Amino acid sequence: MNFMYRLTPLFFICLSFFSCIRKTEETKGIILGFSQIGAESAWRNCNTRSVQEAAAEARVQLLFFNAEQKQENQIKAIRSFIAYQVDVIAFVPIVSDGWENVLVEAREAEIPVILINRGARMVSGNIEDFTVCLVAPDNVYAGELLARTFINSLGDESGPIYVAEITGTIGSSSAVDRGRGIQNVIENDDRVIIRYSQTGDFNRTTARHVSDSIIRTARAEGVRLQGVIAQSDDMALGAMQSFIDAGIDPGRDIKIVGIDGIRDAFEAMVKGLYYASVENPLGYGDATIAILLDLLDNGKKPDDYWVVLKNKVYLQKDAAEALPNRKY
């Protein structure tokens, strides 16, 4: 079969789009293919904008694709980037595994690949041999910071203290690492017991439904929940609404903490409904474009494979002052 007939329809959409912008004199002539996992949260949308804005500022042409939470869509997009012969590919891996074939194809095409926000791994071989670097925070540390913040809020309260954990997308590196960090801290405090743990898929609505189920189960079992530790703010906010609907006051009856640092979480903190948020940093766009330009202009990779972005924790008492400066 002729090669052109085997290309995905997505390729022709990309080709049509870039046949227009590639001629723009205001750009450097560098093309970045960027595949985002989706638009499941306010933080994710801002993460996308950070890459788009950094690329525009550097006059790097951006070929963007939203995978809508499907790995197969992301793999198709990456193959389209390869077919179009972009200069660099960057993507946020939806899950950690299943990238072997497409990363081999990118390497054979001599197109460098940058991982953003989430890591990936190879069944055979080292991921560092197939990608330039990983631009991401230390999610184990973020999970530890979240759990430590929750425990600090307890003061000298005696146990047992029953907690619900809302986890992220199953198989994603961020969910695995944040979960490991949470467990690292919780297992060293005999008072705190994670009684229920369910995935909210990093989605507010899903987490709300999951929390409805947890509340029903806890009531049936006679368990008094005193905390929610969620791997994202959107999931924590979904849980918060579920508790409010069930007549449980998040400001008095239960402490809720999450990760990302989104504006809605800060607004909930100002209202006294939410205890703390660990910020998921937003420097992805600037860092990625700086790495890309150094690589293409100077042939230089980052000194360390993992380019670590720093987390910061915000408590309820910090929220009013910090809220006006939140970008998302």
Q: Which residue has the tokens 């005696």?
A: 158
Is-same-fold flag (3-136+282-310; 139-281+314-325)? yes
Provide the whole-model pTM: 0.82
Which pLDDT band holds residue 15 (cuts at 50, 70, 90)? very low
In whole angstroms, what is the distance from residue 240 CA to residue 274 CA? Answer: 8
Question: Burial letters for 87-108: b for 16+ Cβ neighbours within 10 Å, e otherwise?
Answer: bbbbbbbbbbebbbebbeebee
Mention every residue, 6+ apart, whose C-beta is less than 8 A from residue 288. 51, 54, 90, 114, 116, 135
Evaluate whether 248 touches 216 at the Cβ level (below 8 Å).
no
In whole angstroms, what is the distance from residue 245 CA to residue 4 CA? Answer: 55
- Give tens-digit pLDDT for 98-115: 999 999 999 999 999 999
- Give tens-digit pLDDT for 128-170: 999 999 999 999 999 999 999 999 999 989 989 999 999 999 9
Angle between helices 71-84 and 100-108 (to 10 degrees): 10
From the candidate CATH numbers 3.40.630.30, 3.40.50.720, 3.20.20.70, 3.40.50.2300, the one assigned to the domain spanning 139-281+314-325: 3.40.50.2300
Q: Could you tell me what percentage of the chain is helix, strand and coil, using 3-state DSSP and rounding each to the nearest 5?
A: 45, 20, 35
In whole angstroms, what is the distance from residue 318 CA to residue 251 CA? Answer: 16
Average pLDDT, the chain: 90
